[in-house]
Structure 1
Amino acid sequence: MKVFFDHNMSPALARALRELFRDQHEIAILSEKFARTATDIEWISGLNREGRWIVISEDRRITRNHAEYTAFRNSKLVGIFLAKAVHKAPVVKKMERILAVWPALEVLSETVEGGAMFELPINGTRVRQLKS
């Protein structure tokens, strides 16, 4: 599975997951693949050219901005957007939540069509699909 963390997520969190899953998954951070000034549409398009990625983001604007939303929905990417309570939580809680749903992310990476968007909940081990 390939997992991408956008610039709204803690790079330290991404690096910790990269170390944890070193021989199992590819984990990338926006600033490692794109300029920090890259727009959402630029990195969405760039990742799409590379194939399937799970994108973990706190940037819910992607789900509301028409151009970004359309670019994402027409891509091979699968979005995991943090629920508001997770967004406001400390980084340790964010890590806990990501690890709690990690098995579900592995399944989604293999089974869901590109352009799908899900919400990472504050409780439980299931992600909720966002309406299209």
Structure 2
Amino acid sequence: MKFFVDNNLPPALARALHELTLHEGDHHEVAHLRDKFLQNTSDLEWIESLAKEGDWAVITHDKLNKGLEREALRCAGLIVFFLDKSWSNHNYWDKAQRLVQWWPAIIDQAERISGGAAFTVKWNYRNGKFEQTKI
């Protein structure tokens, strides 16, 4: 499974998650948008590209639920983890710490899904339970 971190989260966080994932012996890849595309690549463009490659899960703090983006996600068959709006109320280090806490649950959830699905990642960890989100 490959994990794609959207442009609304720092590239350093994606690199850290990648290294932590390798340490666990998992064969997952974590890439930031800027690792694969230009920084100003449109949501539609990267969604379409990842859908063609297959086997991607997206981590984003963007809503991506506006008209065309929403329809593109619906058709793409990607697994998407939306960080809910409460993540905006926290600083970089708190976000990094919380995302690392969530990371094993995100990997586990992504591995269990075949085809597209979307989940909300709440700020409060609560035993690693996600809310399924309708796209």
Query: TM-score w.r.t. structure 2 length?
Result: 0.87
Match of 1:118, as an amino acid?
F
Report what 1:72 is aligned to.
73
**SS of 1:21's equivalent?**
helix
What is the Cα-based RMSD across aligned positions, in Å? 1.6
Query: TM-score w.r.t. structure 1 length?
Result: 0.88
Q: Runs of 4 or more off by more than 4 Å in structure 1?
A: none
Deviation at 1:73, TM superposition (A): 1.2
Structure 2 unaligned runs (5+)? none
State the distance in 2 between where 1:73 and 1:111 align: 19
**SS of 2:76's equivalent?**
coil
Aligned-residue sequence identity (percent) comes to: 39
Deviation at 1:113, TM superposition (A): 4.1
CA contact (8 A) 1:8 1:59 kept: yes
Count of aligned pairs between the two proteins: 130
CA contact (8 A) 1:13 1:91 kept: no
CA contact (8 A) 1:5 1:56 kept: yes
Q: Rate the CA distance shift 1:103–1:19 in 2: closer, same or farther, 3 A.
A: closer
Q: Deviations over 1:84-107 (max 9, x none)?
A: 111321122222332233233223
Match of 2:37, as an amino acid?
F
Match of 2:92, as an amino acid?
V
Report what 2:21 is aligned to.
21
Match of 2:61, as an amino acid?
E
Q: Deviations over 1:44-65 (max 9, x none)?
A: 00011110211011111x12x1
